[in-house]
Structure 1
Amino acid sequence: MDQHQKARSYLSESILFLIFRGIIVGLLAGFVVSSFRLLIQVVYEKVLHLYELAHEQSIYLALILGLYALIALIVGKLLLSEPQIKGSGIPQVEAELKGFMHLNWWSVLWKKFVAGLLAISSGMLLGREGPSIQLGAMVGKGVATKFGLASFGEKTLIASGSAAGIAAAFGAPIAGLLFVVEEVYHHFSRTVWITTLTASLTADLVSKQFFGMAPVLDFASHLARLPLEAYWLYLIMGLVFGFLAFGYEKVVLVVGDCYQKLGKILHIQPAYFSIVALIAIMPLTYFLPILSGGGHEVIVTLPKLNLSFWVLLMWLVIRFVYCMISYGSGVPGGIFLPILSLGALSGAAFGALAVQLGLIDNSMFSIFIIAGMSAYFGAVSKAPLTAIVLVCEMVGNLSQLMPLAFVTLVSYTVMDLLKGAPVYEAMLEKMFANKEVDVSEKLMLLQWPVSDKIAGKQVRELELPRQILITNQVVNGKNEVVSGSSVLYLGNTIDIIIRESDRHLAEKYLL
């Protein structure tokens, strides 16, 4: 049986097989990511307790410094042995799906777990969600390996594991599915969405066994609505957040270069840059512990603090600087939750200013926090649907779907007009800048919908490069073999055979 026949066999499998594999991936990824999330929470609380003791006896500061040195040493050793656990891990997952990289799933899984746990729970301003996505993806790859699936099935389970990682980390299964479609896999076929949704829902159920039924950000069950005549505030907010997101992306892409220059001055290997970030966060965690860590605490506490615009602006600047210091060090940790925390602080500052100017009532303040999260993340990631649904699922409230969609659309539009790229794709491009991309001879099958770009054309009119072979068109559930004279119709799906490393060509010519 050739590669195409194997692929068609996989894609035509019973829905029960797809659901079964999704459940397996969801159960395993849900357990791994939930354990990761729980251990981070427990260890971080212990670290904060050490800082509390340091206020009473300064000797504990020396103990903390020694602990940080040990963390830097262990994380550095793990990074040297497995460089692909660096950072959030999302660009690596995208590279795997594009065929640019082939990760050792077991090596990445356990080393990312250990190094991510140590780095994130130390108090650095890093998120657990990016690592959770990579952990879930590696679980998916491991399951595919155990099932003996070929490339086409393996990619589906990697994508499903990514969604399961988000679901377990955020308690947001639908956002997990949307993130895979918008940011990771970039297409939506029956095989992908069934397996991914099943894995995402299963992982969410597992996480609820660990953390209960309450939303991750349980502070917005009752939100006052902004009157329609005040919606112009959302317009201004979206415009401002588009520029803020553009600035964030520019800085986050160059902060690693700054570390490289600093490392040469201090004679520190890149794998051990974390010691700089760990020492830098000590005064922050000592004097303002609420601003340390991934950002969960500062988000849920903001509605209760009644802070002025200037204090919130100061907090925003502090967290922005420390987010860059933490992520730029290259340790295993993400920007997902830190982005949301910056959005929450920006939204809180905007809302506080509106309250002080008498433009809104104080009861409407909280809506600007969740709108800020959606607008900021939607623009930075250029995944607006994911951002909207993610924030709604995290706060457990769909009543503000319209204002979130409005402000996110505006910020996304500004980001797009400024030519800002999706941050994870920009990171992926930077990762392979001036490097040889591995050319994989392995074939993969893609099942993509016929897009507006190619609809109504004959196959021969597409002038496709020789690396792309369209073999079938699915019409009303039936497979039709494609020839040069075949017309492609909007709404149908096509089967594409291509080398893994040439997947970007299919995106360029067909999407």
Structure 2
Amino acid sequence: MRNSRNRVFNMLKRIQNLKYKLVLDSLIVGVLVGLTIVAHRLILNNISPIFLNLYKKANESYIFIGLVFLLMIALGYLVGKCVKKEPMISGSGIPQVEGILTRRLSINWFTTLLYKFVGGLICLCAGLSVGREGPSVQMGACIGDGVSKKLKNLDNEEKYLITSGASAGLSAAFNAPISGVMFALEETHKNFSPLVLLSAMIASLGADFVSKQFFGVTPSLYFEKVNNLPLKYYWSLIILGLVIGVSGVIFNRGILKTQEIFKKSKLSTELKCIIPFIITGIVGILCPILLGGGHDLIMDLKNQNFSLSILLSFIVIKFLFTFICFGSGVPGGIFFPLLVLGALVGNLTGDLFVTYLGIENTYIVNFIILAMAAHFAAIVKAPITAIILISEMTGSLDHLLALAIVVVVSQLTSDILNSSPIYESLLERILLKSPYKYDVNESKKLLLEMAVHMNSDIDGRKIKDISWPKNCLVVSILRGNKEIIPRGDTEIISGDYLTIMMDESMYSKVMDEIELISTIN
């Protein structure tokens, strides 16, 4: 009992000076993540052209067709072995990170990092319709976990560094540090904690600095001067938001349905992974512009005038191609594919506006940009990240009002159509079958941090009058820069930041209950 009290006392004492320790730890994580993602991108940039050249030769000569498919089968088998060896690398990796942060999943950070690096690199180099951003987030989280374990940090410190690593991974992948921070807060950590914000910002900026040393400061999707959409055309934003919202629903349901089909099949993991590689070989020979995440395709959209029939064909093929690749379970994300699909649908919608509704042709590029953010918001349900991400990636802040309108309409449309956030849906499926459930320690204490929202159940109430979950204790209240030691008659007000202690075995349950009573009714 005395040892337990000492552990609790040391835990509470340590969090008082945690801010200063996090600065150095987060910087270390950011630099390491930046170097890892840079290595990943450099290898990808050097090997991808080899595959593109091979597909081109296969299109010109039958001799190379057999070579292409033999190579695809071999690579699919190798990736299947990686997934079989470490199932936690399957798919994007972002749902796994969320599961780790909520104490519902556990990983071996080193093997997950190693196999994700290798398996994801093979998929990206071959041209599967997956993105590098989800894997970058997971690899960053693994590095944060590894650094925390090496430094023998407390559990709450480990959560900060995992979140910081995830933030740094997205920052280095997209050259978008603010988006990395916002994504970590809005999607992975789901909490605007001052300490999380501090650590994520430092790690994200550190990773971005490292990345820019190798790839320069040009935005990932740099669009030259784009004219602002005149206010007289803002009615079109409502229509665009509705169309993109429906597209987002189709994307989410298609991803989940394809996963079900692969799950119900009796195929081995290796055969499941070979299928998307064979499909990639076909796409690479017949329509190489649709290969990969789609960065080059987005840049082509702003420079070329594709016909309506070609755009529609691209949309259908890219949707199916992405469904098959991601549904099979290969290691790869959906970030860039969903942005590309948004851009394609936005381009098609813009062409229809120009052809039938009299909007000037010069504004089609605006619809491409706006649709990418809207598609992200409709699928991921992270609207703030969507707006900041596209602003950073395109290098322009001139479209914030239009972005906000389209993002809100598209997300509301997907909500009305009962489409759940894709990463939460994927996490629920992982938890049903994963052997990597978190192994709790019944005697271990953890700290949970939660912000109090205005008009929530506990706003304006005294601690003693609140029905708290069983076996939890409010140990600290941060109100602005003032820390309050809570007592029974201490009143909680909106904006307070609570630190709550509980048994590790109750963490997930208590977290859900606390979130319910501290957020808006």
TM-score range, shorter chain: over 0.9
The aligned runs of 1:34-113 (5 Å cut-off) are 34-113=38-117
Distance across 1 between alignment mates of 2:376 and 2:485: 42
Which deviates more from structure 2 when the two are superposed, residues 97-106 or residues 454-463?
454-463
Mapped pair 1:27 → 2:26? no
Alpha-carbon offset, residue 331 of structure 1: 0.5
Distance across 1 between alignment mates of 2:244 and 2:22: 40
Q: Label 1:130 to 1:229 Cα distance change in 2 as closer, same or farther (>3 A).
A: same
Distance across 2 between alignment mates of 1:95 and 1:14: 24
Alpha-carbon offset, residue 365 of structure 1: 1.1
* 1:252-274: CA deviation from partner (whole Å, max 9, x where unpaired): 1121111134x42xxx3034311
Contact 2:340 2:372 in 1 (8 A): yes
Among candidates 448, 451, 461, match of residue 449 of structure 1: 451
Letter in 2 for 1:119: C
Root-mean-square deviation over aligned CA pairs:
1.7
* 1:354-403: CA deviation from partner (whole Å, max 9, x where unpaired): 11125221111111111010000011000000011001111111111111
* 1:314-335: CA deviation from partner (whole Å, max 9, x where unpaired): 2111100100011111010011
Contact 2:34 2:208 in 1 (8 A): yes
Distance across 1 between alignment mates of 2:232 and 2:113: 51
| Secondary structure, aligned partner of 2:495 | coil
The aligned runs of 1:195-214 (5 Å cut-off) are 195-214=199-218
| Secondary structure, aligned partner of 2:484 | strand
Q: Label 1:343 to 1:415 Cα distance change in 2 as closer, same or farther (>3 A).
A: same
| Secondary structure, aligned partner of 2:130 | coil
Alpha-carbon offset, residue 17 of structure 1: 2.7
Distance across 1 between alignment mates of 2:104 and 2:18: 30
Distance across 1 between alignment mates of 2:450 and 2:365: 41
Aligned to 1:473: 477
Contact 2:186 2:192 in 1 (8 A): no
Distance across 1 between alignment mates of 2:74 and 2:358: 51
Contact 1:343 1:372 in 2 (8 A): yes
Among candidates 214, 228, 235, match of residue 238 of structure 2: 235
Distance across 2 between alignment mates of 1:390 and 1:157: 22
Letter in 2 for 1:58: Y
Letter in 2 for 1:317: V
The aligned runs of 1:17-416 (5 Å cut-off) are 17-218=21-222, 220-261=223-264, 263-264=265-266, 268-416=267-415
Letter in 1 for 2:180: G
Mapped pair 1:505 → 2:506? no
Alpha-carbon offset, residue 2 of structure 1: 4.1
Size of the aligned set, in residue pairs, is: 506
Contact 1:309 1:350 in 2 (8 A): no
Which deviates more from structure 2 when the two are superposed, residues 355-364 or residues 337-346?
355-364
Mapped pair 1:440 → 2:440? yes
Flag structure 2 segments of 5+ consecutive residues without an equivalent: none
Distance across 1 between alignment mates of 2:489 and 2:271: 59
Q: Label 1:304 to 1:435 Cα distance change in 2 as closer, same or farther (>3 A).
A: closer
Contact 1:22 1:199 in 2 (8 A): yes
Which deviates more from structure 2 when the two are superposed, residues 224-233 or residues 271-280?
271-280
Which deviates more from structure 2 when the two are superposed, residues 461-470 or residues 334-343?
461-470
Which deviates more from structure 2 when the two are superposed, residues 348-357 or residues 66-75?
66-75
| Secondary structure, aligned partner of 1:495 | strand
Q: Percent identity?
A: 37
Contact 2:38 2:172 in 1 (8 A): yes
Contact 2:168 2:180 in 1 (8 A): yes
Letter in 2 for 1:337: F
Which deviates more from structure 2 when the two are superposed, residues 66-75 or residues 3-12?
3-12
Q: Label 1:397 to 1:169 Cα distance change in 2 as closer, same or farther (>3 A).
A: same
Distance across 2 between alignment mates of 1:99 and 1:41: 36
Distance across 2 between alignment mates of 1:283 and 1:174: 38
* 1:489-510: CA deviation from partner (whole Å, max 9, x where unpaired): 1122111113244333332333
Alpha-carbon offset, residue 7 of structure 1: 3.9
Contact 1:468 1:506 in 2 (8 A): no
Distance across 1 between alignment mates of 2:202 and 2:288: 38
Alpha-carbon offset, residue 15 of structure 1: 4.3
